[in-house]
Amino acid sequence: MVSAAGSICTLILLWVVVQKESGIPLLLAVTMGVQSTASLLLLSVLIKRKQLKSHGFFTNIRAESHHLIRVGGLFFLLQIGVMVGWGADSLIISSNLGAEQVAVFAIVQRLFQLATQPVNMINALCGGIC
């Protein structure tokens, strides 16, 4: 719920910032800042409820480190694959059509992301409720 609320706030603030033609630092602050602040609110709730304890913290890390490294390594490899796959489009376009066409592709891609962000928010909200 907090993530969905943060996403909705981000979308509204992005619209306001774009309407005022603000710079890139403000766009980044709105995009990343609202999501981070929403997560920090949940951290404060855990501390207030005394559910975030350091007792046995390092013992648990030592016991679970093998599994964490294995799963984390797989996640890292998957992220590298996604990064290569995501960047391959621009590389192919620039080699076949020229570097100026990459800018056109990037703008169209970002515009399409404006249509998919609300769907992702609804999906995240429904996934948390259901």
Over residues 33-56, the pLDDT tens digits come to 887 887 788 888 888 888 877 777
pLDDT of residue 130: 57
Domain ranges of the chain: 1-52, 64-118
Both structure tokens of 75: 């996640």
Q: How far apart (Å, rounded) are the C-alpha atoms in residues 93 and 99?
A: 7
121 neighbors 11 (Cβ within 8 angstroms):
yes
User: Which run of H or E residues covers position 29?
Assistant: helix 24-48
Q: How far apart (Å, rounded) are the C-alpha atoms in residues 42 and 40?
A: 5
Q: Is the pTM higher than 0.85?
A: no
